[in-house]
Chains A and B, each alone.
Chain A
Amino acid sequence: MYRYSEIDRSFVKERVCQYRDQVSRRLSGALTEDEFKPLRLMNGVYLQLHAYMLRVAIPYGTLSAHQMRGLANISERWDKGYGHLTTRQNIQFNWPKLVDTPDILNALAELDMHAIQTSGNTIRNVTTDHFAGAALDEVADPRPYAEWIRQWSTDHPEFQFLPRKFKIAISAGRQDRAVIKAHDIGLRLVAGACGPAFDIYIGGGLGRTPVVGSLVFKSVPVDRLLPHLEGILTVYNLAGRRDNKYKARIKILFQSMGLEAFKYEVERILPRINDTFGDSSEAQLESLLNAFAIPTLPSRDVGPYWDAVNSRADFKGWVKQNVTPHLKEGYAAVTVSLKAHGHAPGDASASQMRALADLAEQVGFGELRVSHEQNIVLPHVAQSDLMAVFDRLQREGLATANIGLVSDLIACPGMDYCALATARSIPIGQQIALRYESLEQELGPLRIKISGCINACGHHHVGDIGILGLDKAGVENYQITLGGRTGMDAAVGEKMGPGFTESELLLALDRLFSAYLALRRDSNEVFSETVRRLGTATFKSALYEVADAA
Chain B
Amino acid sequence: MARLDAPAVVTANCLLAGHVLYLSETQEWVTQLSAAHRFDCLEAAKVMAAKVNDPSRVIGVELVGVSTSPGETVARHYREAIRANGPGAYVFAPPIGEGDVSVQ
Contact = CB atoms under 8 A, between A and B. Distances in A.
Question: Do A and B assemble together?
Answer: yes
A49 B88 CA distance: 13
A530 to B, nearest CB: 15
A495 interface: no
B71 interface: no
A49 B103 CA distance: 37
A304 B46 CA distance: 72
Contact of A507 (B20, B86, B97): B97
Interface string A290-318: 00000000000000000000000000000
B88 A427 contact: yes
B82 A416 contact: yes
B2 A438 contact: no
B78 A49 contact: no
Contact of B104 (A27, A99, A507, A517): A517
B48 interface: no
B103 A517 contact: yes
Contact of B95 (A94, A415, A431, A439): A431
A125 B71 CA distance: 49
B59 A33 contact: yes
Contacts of A229: none
B85 to A, nearest CB: 9
A252 interface: no
Contacts of A390: none
Given A33-B55, A415-B82, A439-B101, A50 B19 contact: yes
A507 B18 contact: no
Contacts of B104: 439, 442, 514, 517
B18 A52 contact: yes
Given A415-B78, A503-B92, A51 B19 contact: yes
Nearest to B95: A503
Contacts of A503: 92-96
Interface in A432-475: 435-436, 438-439, 442, 471, 473-475
A97 B103 contact: no
A416 B87 contact: yes
Given A32-B55, A503-B95, A507-B95, A426 B18 contact: no
Nearest to B76: A474
A385 interface: no
Interface string B72-104: 000011110011001110111111110001111
Contacts of B102: 510, 514
A502 interface: yes
Contacts of A49: 20, 79, 82-83
B78 A476 contact: yes
A47 B79 CA distance: 15
Contacts of A514: 102-104
Given A49-B20, A50-B18, A438 B101 contact: yes
A547 to B, nearest CB: 13
Interface stretch (B9-17, B22-30, B37-45): B9-17
B69 interface: no
Contact of B20 (A32, A50, A426, A502): A50
A50 B17 contact: no
A424 B90 contact: yes
A29 B56 contact: yes
Contacts of B18: 47-48, 50-52, 96-98
B82 A99 contact: no
Interface string B49-64: 0000001100110000
Nearest to A516: B103
B101 A435 contact: yes
B6 to A, nearest CB: 16
A476 B91 CA distance: 12
Nearest to A423: B78
A426 B60 CA distance: 25
Nearest to A100: B17
Contacts of A52: 17-18
Contacts of A426: 87-88
A109 B65 CA distance: 43
A506 interface: yes
Interface string A501-545: 011111100100110010000000000000000000000000000
Nearest to B89: A416
B92 to A, nearest CB: 6
Contacts of A474: 2, 76-78
| Among all A-B residue pairs, the 10 with the closest Cβ atoms | A503-B95, A416-B87, A52-B18, A51-B18, A97-B17, A513-B103, A514-B103, A506-B95, A474-B2, A99-B16
Given A49-B20, A502-B92, A507-B96, 16 more contacts: A33-B59, A47-B13, A50-B18, A50-B83, A50-B87, A415-B82, A424-B82, A503-B93, A503-B94, A503-B96, A506-B97, A510-B97, A510-B101, A510-B103, A513-B103, A517-B104
Interface of B: 1-2, 13, 15-20, 55-56, 59-60, 76-79, 82-83, 86-88, 90-97, 101-104
19 contacts: A33-B55, A47-B18, A49-B82, A50-B20, A51-B17, A97-B18, A415-B82, A417-B87, A426-B87, A427-B91, A431-B95, A436-B101, A436-B103, A442-B104, A471-B2, A504-B95, A507-B96, A510-B97, A514-B102
Interface of A: 27, 29, 32-33, 47-52, 94, 96-99, 344, 415-417, 424, 426-427, 431, 435-436, 438-439, 442, 471, 473-476, 502-507, 510, 513-514, 517
